Amino acid sequence: MKKNKILVISDLKKSTKTTLKSAISLSKLIEADIEFFHVKKPTEVVDSHNQLTAVRTINATYRETENKIKTITSNYADKYDVNIHYDLIIGNVKHELEGYFKASKPDIIVLGKRQSSAIKLIGDDIVSFILKTYNGTVLIAGKEHTLEPKNILSLGILNPTPNSFKSKILSELINKTETPIKTFNINNSKNNSIQSTANTVDFVFENGTNAVNSIANYINKNKINMLYIDRSKTNSLTNNFKQFLKAIDISVLFTNNTQL
């Protein structure tokens, strides 16, 4: 049976190793191979108007960056016994990413947060771009509280629906997580029903300005290390995901229930 494919998109900054570790943890849970992809902007490489000098600089930078990626991925592949392939391109970040999605056809894309107090993620709003252009599952890895390959998964689900529990990826994660699973539900006038199962503990929050911080506090208290969000179900938290990601520091899995 064909294995799942996880695509790690990295800017090779400080969060690279924690992002890759979270991707490896996820690969162990759903039996997936990993691709590591980096796009370097030409403006980060060339500052000379001399064409020959520019070509030499590009080639040297490419080799240097490739060696850095090879060292990181091979060390983690050996340590955790996983398959990690890598690719590197110098070009326009968004253009190259969109083309790579179509060619690689990953099942899950993994991104990391920048090491910053502000919620600035890799690239120029690359997370927003990916969530808009890629219709599959996206994991945004925690900055400090990363997923650990040998640790037990503690899963939380935000606003679950009946379709949420039909998702293949969620079913695979539920089989690998400690129970009971925690659900975090926003109560509003349009939808007051809570999708409970025998193996869930359900927390209900009033819809309002403090909902994000309240949920973040309960996530921390219950030591959740991955939160599942169905982005096919529109709500205020998924629309304002930057605020939500700023409030919590765990891995967040966005899915639309059409992938995996």
**CATH for the stretch 4-141:** 3.40.50.620
Name the class of domain 155-255. alpha beta
Give the separation between CA 48 and CA 41, rounded to whole angstroms.
15
* Dihedral sign for Cα atoms in the order 62, 68, 71, 72: negative
pLDDT at residue 35, as a whole number: 97
Rounded average pLDDT per 10-residue block, the chain, 260 residues: 88 89 94 94 70 79 93 95 94 92 93 57 66 88 83 89 78 86 76 60 84 88 89 56 74 67
The reply to whether domains 4-141 and 155-255 share a CATH topology is yes
Tokens 């990993």 correspond to: 34
pLDDT at residue 189, as a whole number: 44
Q: Where are the domains positioned within the chain?
A: 4-141, 155-255
For residue 112, what are the contacts with CB-CB under 8 A and spacing of at least 6?
10, 15, 16, 18, 19, 22, 121, 122, 140, 141, 143
For residue 134, the number of C-alpha atoms closer than 13 Å in the C-beta half-sphere is 32
Helix (H) or strand (E) segment spanning residue 28:
helix 16-30
